[in-house]
Amino acid sequence: MSLTPQQRIELHGFNNLTKSLSFNMYDICYTRTKREREAYLQYIDEQYNAERLTKILKNVSDIIGAHVLNIAKQDYEPQGASVTLLVSEGPVAEASKEVFEESPGPLPGSVVMHLDKSHITVHTYPEFHPDEGISTFRADIDVSTCGEISPLKALNYLIHSFDTDIMIMDYRVRGFTRDIHGHKLFIDHDINSIQNYIPEETKSQFDMIDANIYQENIFHTKCKLKQFHLNNYLFGCKEEELSEEDRILITAKLTQEMNEIFYGKNIK
Protein backbone atom coordinates (compact mmCIF):
# COMPACT_ATOMS: atom_id res chain seq x y z
CA MET A 1 0.00 0.00 0.00
CA SER A 2 1.57 3.29 -1.12
CA LEU A 3 1.05 6.50 0.83
CA THR A 4 1.69 9.96 -0.55
CA PRO A 5 3.39 12.58 1.69
CA GLN A 6 -0.04 14.17 2.15
CA GLN A 7 -1.53 10.88 3.32
CA ARG A 8 1.34 10.39 5.78
CA ILE A 9 0.45 13.67 7.50
CA GLU A 10 -3.10 12.40 8.02
CA LEU A 11 -2.07 9.55 10.31
CA HIS A 12 -3.54 9.57 13.79
CA GLY A 13 -0.45 10.34 15.87
CA PHE A 14 2.95 8.74 15.36
CA ASN A 15 3.63 6.07 12.72
CA ASN A 16 3.91 3.03 15.02
CA LEU A 17 5.05 0.52 12.39
CA THR A 18 8.36 -1.19 13.14
CA LYS A 19 10.41 -2.09 10.05
CA SER A 20 13.32 -4.47 10.60
CA LEU A 21 15.99 -5.56 8.11
CA SER A 22 18.38 -8.36 9.06
CA PHE A 23 21.36 -8.71 6.73
CA ASN A 24 23.74 -11.66 7.12
CA MET A 25 26.83 -12.01 4.95
CA TYR A 26 29.36 -14.85 4.73
CA ASP A 27 32.92 -14.85 3.40
CA ILE A 28 34.47 -18.31 2.95
CA CYS A 29 38.10 -19.18 2.32
CA TYR A 30 40.51 -22.13 2.45
CA THR A 31 43.57 -22.09 4.70
CA ARG A 32 45.99 -25.01 4.36
CA THR A 33 47.89 -24.61 7.61
CA LYS A 34 47.33 -23.39 11.15
CA ARG A 35 49.57 -20.39 10.40
CA GLU A 36 47.46 -19.44 7.37
CA ARG A 37 44.28 -19.83 9.41
CA GLU A 38 45.60 -17.57 12.17
CA ALA A 39 46.71 -15.03 9.55
CA TYR A 40 43.22 -15.08 8.01
CA LEU A 41 41.57 -14.44 11.36
CA GLN A 42 43.99 -11.58 12.03
CA TYR A 43 43.25 -10.14 8.58
CA ILE A 44 39.49 -10.28 9.22
CA ASP A 45 39.87 -8.64 12.63
CA GLU A 46 41.85 -5.80 11.04
CA GLN A 47 39.49 -5.40 8.08
CA TYR A 48 36.31 -5.44 10.13
CA ASN A 49 37.30 -3.98 13.48
CA ALA A 50 34.88 -1.97 15.60
CA GLU A 51 36.18 1.33 14.18
CA ARG A 52 35.44 0.41 10.57
CA LEU A 53 32.11 -1.16 11.48
CA THR A 54 31.15 2.05 13.25
CA LYS A 55 31.80 4.03 10.07
CA ILE A 56 29.63 1.60 8.09
CA LEU A 57 26.75 1.94 10.53
CA LYS A 58 27.06 5.73 10.62
CA ASN A 59 26.75 5.72 6.84
CA VAL A 60 23.68 3.48 7.15
CA SER A 61 22.07 5.98 9.53
CA ASP A 62 22.80 8.81 7.06
CA ILE A 63 21.31 6.84 4.16
CA ILE A 64 18.04 6.06 5.96
CA GLY A 65 17.75 9.61 7.29
CA ALA A 66 18.27 8.86 10.99
CA HIS A 67 20.11 10.80 13.71
CA VAL A 68 22.64 8.91 15.86
CA LEU A 69 22.02 9.40 19.57
CA ASN A 70 24.48 6.93 21.08
CA ILE A 71 27.22 4.52 19.97
CA ALA A 72 28.53 1.42 21.77
CA LYS A 73 31.37 -0.58 20.21
CA GLN A 74 33.65 -3.41 21.25
CA ASP A 75 36.48 -5.51 19.79
CA TYR A 76 36.62 -9.01 21.30
CA GLU A 77 39.38 -11.49 22.11
CA PRO A 78 40.35 -13.73 20.46
CA GLN A 79 38.35 -12.31 17.52
CA GLY A 80 35.15 -10.54 16.51
CA ALA A 81 33.58 -7.14 17.08
CA SER A 82 30.21 -5.56 17.85
CA VAL A 83 28.73 -2.11 17.30
CA THR A 84 25.30 -0.75 18.26
CA LEU A 85 23.71 2.58 17.40
CA LEU A 86 20.64 4.17 18.96
CA VAL A 87 19.05 6.44 16.36
CA SER A 88 16.11 8.78 15.99
CA GLU A 89 13.99 9.61 12.98
CA GLY A 90 14.87 12.91 11.37
CA PRO A 91 12.25 15.68 11.38
CA VAL A 92 9.81 14.89 8.55
CA ALA A 93 9.63 18.53 7.52
CA GLU A 94 13.37 18.69 6.97
CA ALA A 95 13.93 15.27 5.40
CA SER A 96 13.91 14.79 1.63
CA LYS A 97 11.12 12.71 0.04
CA GLU A 98 13.69 10.13 -1.12
CA VAL A 99 14.46 9.21 2.50
CA PHE A 100 10.99 7.71 2.92
CA GLU A 101 11.00 5.69 -0.32
CA GLU A 102 11.74 1.97 -0.02
CA SER A 103 14.49 1.58 -2.62
CA PRO A 104 17.97 0.00 -2.86
CA GLY A 105 19.62 3.27 -1.86
CA PRO A 106 23.15 4.37 -2.78
CA LEU A 107 26.41 2.47 -3.09
CA PRO A 108 29.20 2.97 -0.54
CA GLY A 109 30.62 6.45 -1.07
CA SER A 110 34.10 6.49 -0.43
CA VAL A 111 29.54 -0.19 15.82
CA VAL A 112 26.48 -0.30 17.63
CA MET A 113 24.44 2.91 17.37
CA HIS A 114 21.31 3.68 19.36
CA LEU A 115 18.42 5.59 17.78
CA ASP A 116 15.36 7.01 19.50
CA LYS A 117 12.84 4.19 19.01
CA SER A 118 15.27 2.61 16.53
CA HIS A 119 18.65 0.89 16.46
CA ILE A 120 21.35 -0.42 14.15
CA THR A 121 23.67 -3.23 15.19
CA VAL A 122 26.47 -5.32 13.74
CA HIS A 123 28.21 -8.39 15.16
CA THR A 124 31.01 -10.36 13.50
CA TYR A 125 31.78 -14.06 13.85
CA PRO A 126 35.09 -15.35 12.42
CA GLU A 127 35.38 -19.14 12.76
CA PHE A 128 37.04 -22.19 11.21
CA HIS A 129 36.51 -25.91 10.72
CA PRO A 130 38.60 -27.93 13.21
CA ASP A 131 40.29 -30.08 10.57
CA GLU A 132 39.01 -29.32 7.06
CA GLY A 133 40.93 -26.09 6.34
CA ILE A 134 37.71 -24.09 5.87
CA SER A 135 37.55 -20.64 7.49
CA THR A 136 34.34 -18.60 7.53
CA PHE A 137 33.62 -14.99 8.41
CA ARG A 138 30.04 -13.97 9.17
CA ALA A 139 28.67 -10.49 9.84
CA ASP A 140 25.12 -9.94 11.16
CA ILE A 141 23.64 -6.47 10.65
CA ASP A 142 20.22 -5.48 11.98
CA VAL A 143 18.52 -2.20 11.08
CA SER A 144 15.30 -1.65 13.02
CA THR A 145 13.33 1.57 12.57
CA CYS A 146 10.09 2.97 13.87
CA GLY A 147 8.20 5.63 11.94
CA GLU A 148 8.60 6.53 8.29
CA ILE A 149 12.33 5.97 7.77
CA SER A 150 13.04 2.75 5.88
CA PRO A 151 15.89 0.29 6.51
CA LEU A 152 15.56 -0.93 2.91
CA LYS A 153 17.34 2.26 1.82
CA ALA A 154 20.56 0.82 3.28
CA LEU A 155 20.40 -2.52 1.43
CA ASN A 156 22.51 -1.59 -1.59
CA TYR A 157 25.16 0.03 0.62
CA LEU A 158 25.40 -3.00 2.91
CA ILE A 159 25.74 -5.43 -0.01
CA HIS A 160 28.73 -3.47 -1.32
CA SER A 161 30.35 -2.87 2.08
CA PHE A 162 31.46 -6.49 2.56
CA ASP A 163 33.19 -9.16 0.48
CA THR A 164 30.21 -11.46 0.17
CA ASP A 165 29.86 -15.05 -1.02
CA ILE A 166 26.46 -15.63 0.56
CA MET A 167 23.83 -13.16 1.77
CA ILE A 168 20.73 -13.96 3.80
CA MET A 169 18.23 -11.14 4.28
CA ASP A 170 15.04 -10.89 6.31
CA TYR A 171 12.63 -7.97 6.28
CA ARG A 172 9.59 -7.68 8.51
CA VAL A 173 7.00 -5.00 9.22
CA ARG A 174 5.37 -5.32 12.66
CA GLY A 175 2.57 -3.60 14.52
CA PHE A 176 0.12 -1.14 13.01
CA THR A 177 -0.56 2.54 12.76
CA ARG A 178 -3.89 4.35 12.28
CA ASP A 179 -5.20 6.94 9.90
CA ILE A 180 -7.28 9.85 11.21
CA HIS A 181 -10.44 7.74 10.95
CA GLY A 182 -8.98 5.00 13.16
CA HIS A 183 -8.44 2.55 10.27
CA LYS A 184 -5.45 0.28 10.95
CA LEU A 185 -2.53 0.15 8.50
CA PHE A 186 -0.34 -2.92 8.94
CA ILE A 187 2.10 -1.82 6.24
CA ASP A 188 2.64 1.54 4.56
CA HIS A 189 4.45 0.55 1.34
CA ASP A 190 4.28 -1.96 -1.50
CA ILE A 191 6.57 -5.00 -1.33
CA ASN A 192 6.33 -8.63 -2.45
CA SER A 193 10.05 -9.53 -2.28
CA ILE A 194 13.31 -8.11 -0.94
CA GLN A 195 14.61 -8.70 -4.46
CA ASN A 196 12.55 -5.68 -5.54
CA TYR A 197 15.10 -3.52 -3.74
CA ILE A 198 18.26 -5.16 -5.06
CA PRO A 199 19.65 -3.64 -8.31
CA GLU A 200 19.52 -5.86 -11.40
CA GLU A 201 23.30 -5.73 -11.81
CA THR A 202 23.73 -7.19 -8.33
CA LYS A 203 21.01 -9.82 -8.77
CA SER A 204 22.69 -11.09 -11.95
CA GLN A 205 25.73 -12.11 -9.88
CA PHE A 206 23.81 -14.38 -7.49
CA ASP A 207 21.59 -17.45 -7.40
CA MET A 208 18.60 -16.39 -5.29
CA ILE A 209 15.80 -18.04 -3.31
CA ASP A 210 12.74 -16.34 -1.80
CA ALA A 211 10.52 -17.51 1.06
CA ASN A 212 7.82 -14.97 1.89
CA ILE A 213 4.78 -14.93 4.21
CA TYR A 214 2.79 -12.12 2.66
CA GLN A 215 -0.11 -12.12 5.12
CA GLU A 216 2.37 -11.59 7.98
CA ASN A 217 4.53 -9.03 6.12
CA ILE A 218 7.61 -11.28 6.44
CA PHE A 219 10.08 -11.45 3.53
CA HIS A 220 13.15 -13.69 3.23
CA THR A 221 15.80 -13.83 0.48
CA LYS A 222 18.98 -15.91 0.14
CA CYS A 223 21.78 -15.15 -2.35
CA LYS A 224 24.80 -17.23 -3.36
CA LEU A 225 27.53 -15.95 -5.66
CA LYS A 226 27.36 -17.64 -9.07
CA GLN A 227 30.96 -17.36 -10.24
CA PHE A 228 33.59 -19.50 -8.54
CA HIS A 229 37.28 -18.73 -9.03
CA LEU A 230 39.46 -20.83 -6.73
CA ASN A 231 42.09 -18.11 -6.29
CA ASN A 232 39.44 -15.89 -4.68
CA TYR A 233 39.03 -18.47 -1.90
CA LEU A 234 42.66 -19.28 -1.13
CA PHE A 235 44.45 -17.49 1.70
CA GLY A 236 48.24 -17.79 1.80
CA CYS A 237 48.72 -19.58 -1.52
CA LYS A 238 47.78 -19.48 -5.22
CA GLU A 239 45.89 -22.00 -7.33
CA GLU A 240 48.99 -22.47 -9.49
CA GLU A 241 50.92 -23.78 -6.47
CA LEU A 242 48.47 -26.65 -5.94
CA SER A 243 48.35 -30.05 -7.60
CA GLU A 244 45.34 -30.89 -9.74
CA GLU A 245 44.20 -33.35 -7.08
CA ASP A 246 44.37 -30.66 -4.37
CA ARG A 247 42.47 -28.17 -6.55
CA ILE A 248 39.63 -30.65 -7.02
CA LEU A 249 39.53 -31.54 -3.32
CA ILE A 250 39.63 -27.93 -2.09
CA THR A 251 37.01 -26.85 -4.65
CA ALA A 252 34.70 -29.64 -3.44
CA LYS A 253 35.15 -28.60 0.21
CA LEU A 254 34.49 -24.93 -0.52
CA THR A 255 31.46 -25.72 -2.67
CA GLN A 256 29.99 -27.96 0.02
CA GLU A 257 30.54 -25.30 2.69
CA MET A 258 28.77 -22.65 0.61
CA ASN A 259 25.89 -24.95 -0.30
CA GLU A 260 25.38 -25.96 3.34
CA ILE A 261 25.21 -22.31 4.43
CA PHE A 262 22.94 -21.37 1.51
CA TYR A 263 20.47 -24.24 2.05
CA GLY A 264 20.77 -24.20 5.86
CA LYS A 265 21.57 -27.88 6.31
CA ASN A 266 24.51 -30.31 6.37
CA ILE A 267 25.12 -32.04 3.05
CA LYS A 268 26.91 -35.39 2.78
Any idea which residues carry the catalytic annotation? 118, 123, 146
Name the percent of the chain in helix, strand, coil, to the closest 5: 30, 35, 35
- Find out whether 100 and 128 touch, Cβ atoms under 8 Å: no
- Find out whether 85 and 115 touch, Cβ atoms under 8 Å: yes
Contacts of 84 (CB under 8 A, 6+ apart): 71, 72, 73, 111, 112, 113, 114, 119, 120, 121, 122
SS3 assignment, position 134: strand
The count of residues in the chain is 268
